[in-house]
Amino acid sequence: MMFGMWTVSNTEKIHSLFPVPLYWWRPDPVTRHGILQEFAAQVRNIDAGLAPVLQHEYVRPRHTDEYAQTNSSVTYHLTRASAFVDQCVREYVRLLGYGDAELECERMWFNRVDQGDSHIWHSHGNSLVSGTLYYRVPAGDIEFRTPNPFARAGLFPVKDQWCPVAARTPQPGDIGLWPSYLEHRVTPNNSTEPRYAMSFDYVAKRS
């Protein structure tokens, strides 16, 4: 078992132990424009590649190429997006103290959330880092749920930063990364415009 030393500050009386490290970034305007323009040029092809997938947890089928593609950025020639995601994943693991540890993309896929649709609570198995790059976000938040079962059961404390659910409203071009075990969901899209995002899983690089 690994142990980390708890650093005590003399200026703070409340300390949060065992935080979940979540990475969130919005690229500079030039990079962001390039990523979004690249997507706009391929959106019709992306739509054509999405399939309605009906799962028992959903009332209506969700539109995804999750089960048809191993890497949508390759299929649709999204070279800027692929390079940006790789760069952010490298920075994420470096900021967490893993130096130049190498991860590789296991799979990358598109989800389209139409009016009234959402995405239920889920996590990503068989990977280390998961995340999403957002292209069009007319409405809907992403919510994260604590992995702490006692907090999820409503045990004290459950307010402010110790609330068991945290939400964020993404903007086009935003990228979020998190440990693959972290449960998350997408709230309903109340807009008439579809919501597009590309999700991905990274694993330890194979030798």
For the residues 177-197, what does the mean pLDDT come to? 96
Is 17 within a domain? no
pLDDT at 190 over 90: yes
Q: Within 10 Å of residue 151's Cβ, how many Cβ atoms?
A: 17
Q: How many domains does the chain have?
A: 1
Place of tokens 């005590």: 8
Is 4 within a domain? no
Is 126 within a domain? yes
Is 118 within a domain? yes
Residue 109: CATH number of its domain: 2.60.120.620
Is 90 within a domain? yes
Is 3 within a domain? no
Which of 10 and 70 is assigned the larger pLDDT?
Answer: 70
The pLDDT score that the predictor gives to residue 13 is 82
| Domain region containing 191 | 23-204
Q: What does the alpha-carbon distance between residue 81 and residue 172 come to, in Å, rounded to a whole number?
A: 12
Q: What does the alpha-carbon distance between residue 199 and residue 91 come to, in Å, rounded to a whole number?
A: 18
pLDDT at 2 over 70: no
Is 10 within a domain? no
For the residues 49-53, what does the mean pLDDT come to? 92
